[in-house]
């Protein structure tokens, strides 16, 4: 009985190419059509694990954790300095769903920086902000502004301790005028003291006390 041989079915070549194109695990640098490129780990064709993403047109780089194509976990974000042509760190800390979330440090132009908690890309929770003029705010934040209880220390060491709302002094608080040796304690509304008492406080150690002490009531 003659044996009939049938031609073996061959898999289309594009099937093999498609399998090779599916990114999973650690891969070499993968380039996008706009010039951006990523080096690191993948899962189901999405950036997942450790990796470095470079945005060439924006002059930015992220190095850290990824989860299903988004920055998630711990990582640093840097931008290219147009003068030195070197990358300067802008944010170092935790991310969630591609935004700052958790504890992190942000470096602003000049000497300003923020150390503290983030939520949905905004300063939220506890944090400390160093300002250009030398003042420092330490306390609670709500939607990227001081809100709740906090302390603002000015460059001359005078300080305010008390309530905040929308980035302004609000509610019960104390303002220590250490340069004059006085203390104001009262109620604030939108950065304006509405009522309170002013007493001498550390007058003997003050560098520039008023000529006459405040009489006791």
Does position 171 have pLDDT exceeding 60, yes or no?
yes
Q: What is the pTM of this model?
A: 0.83
Which is more confidently placed, 139 or 14? Answer: 139
**In this structure, are 92 and 113 located in the same domain?**
no
**In this structure, are 155 and 87 located in the same domain?**
no
Domain boundary among 75, 96, 117: 96
13 in a structural domain: no
The pair phi, psi for residue 17, each rounded to 5°, is -60, -40
The domain that holds 53 is classified in CATH as 2.20.110
Specify the DSSP element, H or E, that contains 43: strand 37-43
pLDDT by residue (tens digit) across 95-110? 999 999 999 999 998 8
**In this structure, are 148 and 84 located in the same domain?**
no
Which is more confidently placed, 6 or 158? Answer: 158
126 in a structural domain: yes
Give the whole-angstrom CA distance, residue 88 versus residue 60: 9
- Beta-sheet pairing, 113-119 with 25-31: unpaired
Closest CA to 42 of 55, 28, 63: 28
**In this structure, are 62 and 141 located in the same domain?**
no
Does position 198 have pLDDT exceeding 60, yes or no?
yes
Task: Return the percentage of the chain with pLDDT > 90, whole number.
Answer: 73
pLDDT by residue (tens digit) across 144-153? 999 999 999 9
Full 3-state SS string of 117-152:
EEECCEEEEEEEEECCCCCEEEEEEECCEEEEEEEE
pLDDT band at 207 (very low <50, low <70, confident <90, very high): confident
Specify the DSSP element, H or E, that contains 55: strand 46-55
User: Could you tell me what percentage of the chain is helix, strand and coil, using 3-state DSSP and rounding each to the nearest 5?
Assistant: 5, 60, 35
The token duo for 99 is 């935004």
The pair phi, psi for residue 18, each rounded to 5°, is -65, -40
Domain boundary among 96, 123, 140: 96
101 in a structural domain: no
Mean pLDDT calculated for residue range 182-195: 95
- Predicted confidence at residue 13, as pLDDT, reads 60
Q: Containing domain of residue 39, as a range?
A: 21-96
DSSP type of residue 22: S
Task: Return the percentage of the chain with pLDDT > 70, whole number.
Answer: 88
207 in a structural domain: yes
């Amino acid at each position: 009985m003659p044996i009939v041989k049938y031609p073996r079915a061959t898999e289309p070549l594009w099937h093999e190419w498609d399998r090779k194109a599916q990114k999973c695990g650690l891969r070499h640098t993968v380039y996008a059509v706009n010039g951006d490129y990523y080096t690191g780990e993948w899962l189901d064709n999405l950036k997942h694990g450790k990796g470095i993403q470079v945005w060439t047109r924006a002059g930015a780089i992220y190095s850290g954790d990824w989860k299903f194509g988004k920055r998630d976990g711990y990582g640093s974000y840097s931008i290219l300095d147009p003068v030195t042509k070197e990358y300067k760190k802008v944010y170092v800390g935790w991310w969630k769903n591609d935004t700052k979330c958790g504890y992190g440090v942000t470096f602003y132009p000049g000497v300003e920086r923020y150390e503290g908690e983030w939520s949905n890309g905004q300063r939220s929770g506890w944090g400390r902000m160093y300002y250009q003029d030398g003042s420092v705010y330490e306390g609670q934040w709500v939607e990227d502004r001081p809100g709740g209880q906090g302390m603002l220390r000015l460059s001359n060491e005078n300080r305010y301790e008390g309530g905040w709302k929308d980035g302004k002094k609000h509610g019960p608080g104390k303002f220590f005028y250490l340069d004059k040796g006085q203390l104001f304690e009262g109620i604030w509304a939108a950065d304006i003291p509405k009522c309170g008492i002013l007493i001498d406080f550390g007058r003997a150690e003050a560098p520039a006390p008023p000529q006459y002490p405040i009489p006791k009531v």
